[in-house]
Amino acid sequence: MRIVLIGPPGSGKGTQARYLIEKYNVPLVATGDLLRAAIAAQTPLGRQAKAIMDAGQLVPNDLVIGMIRERITRPDAENGFILDGFPRNIIQAEELNTLLNNLGRPIDVVLQLDIDFDVIMQRMVGRLTCVSCNELFNSFTNPPMIDGRCDSCGGPLHHRADDNEETIDRRLRIHHTQTQPLSELYKKQNKLHIIDAQGTVEEVAKRIKSALRGMRSKKVNLQSISIAQAINEERKKKSQKRPEIIRTQAEEEKPKRPARKKRALSGVVKKKVIKKKMPVKKAAVKSVVDDSEEELKEIQKQLKAAQAELKKAAQIEKALLKKEKEKDALRKKKLKEETAKLKKAKNKR
């Protein structure tokens, strides 16, 4: 299932994305996470994005689209993906549609989480995020068991500096003017489902489940970017440009006897001139074929180089994930030790 989540900041997109990941066994594709991972792995796109961000500019759409393309063509996205954080406006939505249609992986459904302003304000002002595992808490509605510590991994909890009333109000205004028109676009495409995002996490998840009941993702050709298809397409283009070879055979024709005229002014009969078609030279045809084969070989070479680059990036990402797991294990161990100490201290009292 290929799902796009849209809605104002604090509407619960990240929380509900976890429910969808477990239900459909597909990865979450969050553009913010993609940018950070690409920069950390120092991929070609990551290096370009870092240079632009260091200059204080926004990352252009083509770079973000490139990262999304690389992510959704990995094996774990074979059955679909959950897209969060992109698109944010009509231009990005059109570019995303072009990409997914070219890959044969169009969007199945768009879920818009709808919520009141007051509820958003309470959620975002009290929002706490685990630095290690990204687990979400709220100091008002869902506080952690130990202040400043994650219940899952024991990592430190972080409150974003921009989660204040003034900044939230500005972000909601931007959302209304830029992101809200997306709902009209997807409504015309019969892909939009508006979900009431007020209530508990479980209640919202039930509404999403009801909206997606009976939906099935369209079958797609998962090898649409393979080398074989690229070569076949190139061959097709070249074959259309090749000159048509016309084979003719010159045949000797016997001159026909002219019909006798009753009153012939002269006894001279004009012979019919036969024009023979000249065959196309084989050398010219062979030259065109050789050029086509060389171009195809060059395309194969470029595709192999691109695959090697993607494989290298995947290995780097795997190594980073392994390090993060080791860090999480270490934090959990420390948390257990601290909890044990607290228990001992309580028992002594």
Task: Answer yes or no: do 34 and 177 share one domain.
Answer: yes
Residue of 2, 71, 105, 127 with catalytic role: 127
- Specify if 131 maps to a domain: no
* Same domain membership, residue 237 and residue 205: no
Q: Is residue 325 part of a domain?
A: yes
Question: How far is 243 from 139, CA to CA, in rounded Å?
Answer: 74
Q: What is the pLDDT of residue 223?
A: 47
pLDDT of residue 192: 93
Pairing of strands 109-114, 192-196: parallel
231 and 198 within one domain: no
Is residue 106 located within the same domain as residue 190? yes
73: CB partners within 8 A, 6+ apart: 103, 225
Are the beta carbons of 155 and 130 closer than 8 angstroms?
yes
Q: For the chain, which ranges sit under pLDDT 50? A: 222-228, 231, 242-254, 261-271, 280
Per-residue pLDDT of 51-80, as tens digits, reads 887 776 777 888 889 889 989 999 999 889
Residues 302 and 295: beta-carbon distance below 8 Å: no
User: Angle CA(68)–CA(98)–CA(8) in degrees, nearest 5?
Assistant: 60
For residue 96, the domain's CATH number is: 3.40.50.300
**Is 88 labeled as catalytic in the residue annotation?**
yes
CA distance 215 to 244: 50
Q: 87: cis peptide before it, omega within 30°?
A: yes
CA–CA gap between residue 332 and residue 95 (Å, rounded): 43
Q: Using an 8 Å Cβ cutoff, are 84 and 13 in contact?
A: yes
Closest CA to 29 of 58, 90, 70, 89: 70
Q: What is the pLDDT of residue 266?
A: 45
Active-site position among 13, 71, 105, 331: 13
Nearest in space to 179 (alpha carbons), one of 1, 46, 16, 6: 6
Backbone angles phi and psi of 201, in degrees to 5: -60, -40
Q: Both 295 and 197 in a single domain? A: no
| Number of neighbouring beta carbons within 10 Å of residue 28 | 17
Report the C-alpha gap between 155 and 221 in whole angstroms: 42
- Are 195 and 296 in the same domain? no
Cβ neighbors of 149 (< 8 A, separation 6 or more) are 155, 156, 157, 335
Distance CA 143, CA 19 (A): 20
Q: Find the domain containing 303 and state its range.
A: 226-241+284-349
Whether residue 177 is contained in a domain is answered as: yes
Question: Residue 20 has which token pair?
Answer: 């969808």
Is the domain of 198 the same as that of 69? Answer: yes
Catalytic residue among 69, 74, 88, 191: 88
CA neighbor of 31 nearest in space, from 77, 71, 1, 2: 71
DSSP letter for each residue of 305-317: HHHHHHHHHHHHH
- Does some domain include residue 157? no
Total count of domains within the chain: 2
Helix (H) / strand (E) containing 194: strand 192-196
Q: Which residues contact 63 (CB under 8 A, 6 or more apart)?
A: 45, 48, 49, 52
Q: Is the same domain home to 79 and 201? A: yes
Catalytic residue among 23, 69, 171, 332: 171
Q: What is the pLDDT of residue 110?
A: 94
Residue 137 placed within a domain: no
Residue 160 known to be catalytic = yes
Q: Which of 160, 297, 311, 343 is catalytic?
A: 160
Residue 207 bears catalytic tag: no
